[in-house]
Amino acid sequence: MAAARLSDQLRKRLNAWLADDRTGTDRLLARLRELRETEAVPACSTALHVLTHLEISEQQAERLFEDLVRHRAELIRALGRDPGLRVAAIDFLSNVRQLLAHPVVVESGLLERTERSAVTDPLTRLFNRRHFGQALALELRRSHRYSLRLSLLMLDVDTFKRLNDRHGHVFGDLVLQRMGHVLRRAVRDADTPCRYGGEEFAVILPETDRLGAYALAERIRLHVRQSFTDKPVGGQPVEVTLSGGIAAYPVDGEDPQALITRADQALYLAKRLGRDHISLYHSERRRSVRYPAKSTARAGLHLRPGGAASPVRPLNVSREGALLDIDGGEPAPAASIELSFEGRDARGSERAWLRSARVVRVERRGVRGAGARVAVAFEEPLPEDCLFQQVQRAGPLPALPGGRK
């Protein structure tokens, strides 16, 4: 269905426009053209589908709306009153163009609920796989046209078959329903959470880079674990965990199948790492992706525990390690060190994070003491709020061929 290709937010806006009969048809057409340009969606054909259930091309729908502007004006002159958009559209499409043979009058709210049910999974109340394919293709076209980032998150309930075998399929359905509830609460209005199939889920994240997708996926993973810990399922306490994989446009793929395949590969990696884990697809095949550090990021290097800190500049940082630029004397390869990072935590309070680390590589600039680049591996993963303080969030993409700013 054409109307199903819009996000919930855009669908609400479009339905509000169509419901407001005070808006002239010419003004509505101008809004639809603006929506098509700004959001890269077939606004005219979608609006016509909502009004009449006709499926025609965007170009044909735009011409019909132009004719409808004139027809509504003629009816106003003939009747001495405005019959409204819907009556004018039914008269024009039935009696003038004869595109509707036997139109049926249906309350728009009922029609909206009917259309929503066609793209919704009844068990989880998430979008179904059919809508997932349409929405991913649409968002990729929009991302390409406007040089925007996009991430795809694939999620899978760990050891779901074992849960089903032990507790029964009714219990399994309750677990999936709880998953749908957690996902709906976690995502933004612009995101598209779907049940991909069985115990696997997908979330389309427009205008989101890999770090943003990772942050959301980690929150979902932790919320799922906490939800089942705090509240038994059907009166039975059970431990449920989630694994996920992330692929991003355009670095990991530029078409739907490439992104799905690579997000799945990242999901399989998360399973191999022991489940209850989020992995990103990346060519380096590291356990965690490294992100460029902010130009203002600074850290303190302690060559021995409790010793004085020397300032160093992180070049890139991941949850598992960092690459540091050191101006003075450098640590020896395989040395044990401590790093301190400063910033604000999730509540906005100033704090410091201290991490023990092991030096894995030293690249001197020249003679010893002239400075070096030092790669280190943390003994414990860097917390998410600390990572966010250190790394440079991705900005707009450079213009792509065929796209525009």
For 57, other C-beta atoms within 10 Å of its C-beta total 11
DSSP 187: S
Asked if 40 contacts 137 with a C-beta cutoff of 8 angstroms, the reply is no
Q: Which residues are catalytic?
A: 199
Residue 224 and residue 221: Cα distance in Å, rounded? 5
Residue 207 and residue 46: Cα distance in Å, rounded? 23
Residue 2 tokens read as 């054409």
Strand pairing category for 242-249 and 350-364: unpaired
Instruction: For the sheet with 200-206, list strands across it.
Output: 192-197, 200-206, 150-157, 242-249, 278-280
Burial of 258 (0-12, 13-18, 19+ CB in 10 A): middle
Question: Which of 259, 307, 289 is closest to 394 using CA atoms?
Answer: 289
Which single residue is written with the structure tokens 């203002």? 296
CA angle, corner 42, sides to 39 and 43, nearest 5? 75
Residue 221 and residue 244: Cα distance in Å, rounded? 8
Contacts with 312 (C-beta within 8 Å, 6 or more apart), sequence order: 298, 299, 300, 301, 324, 325, 326, 327, 339, 374
In angstroms, what CA-CA distances link 360 with 3, 29, 331, 336, 354?
A: 54, 62, 10, 10, 18
Half-sphere exposure of 95 (CA within 13 A, CB side): 9
CA angle, corner 128, sides to 254 and 131, nearest 5? 45
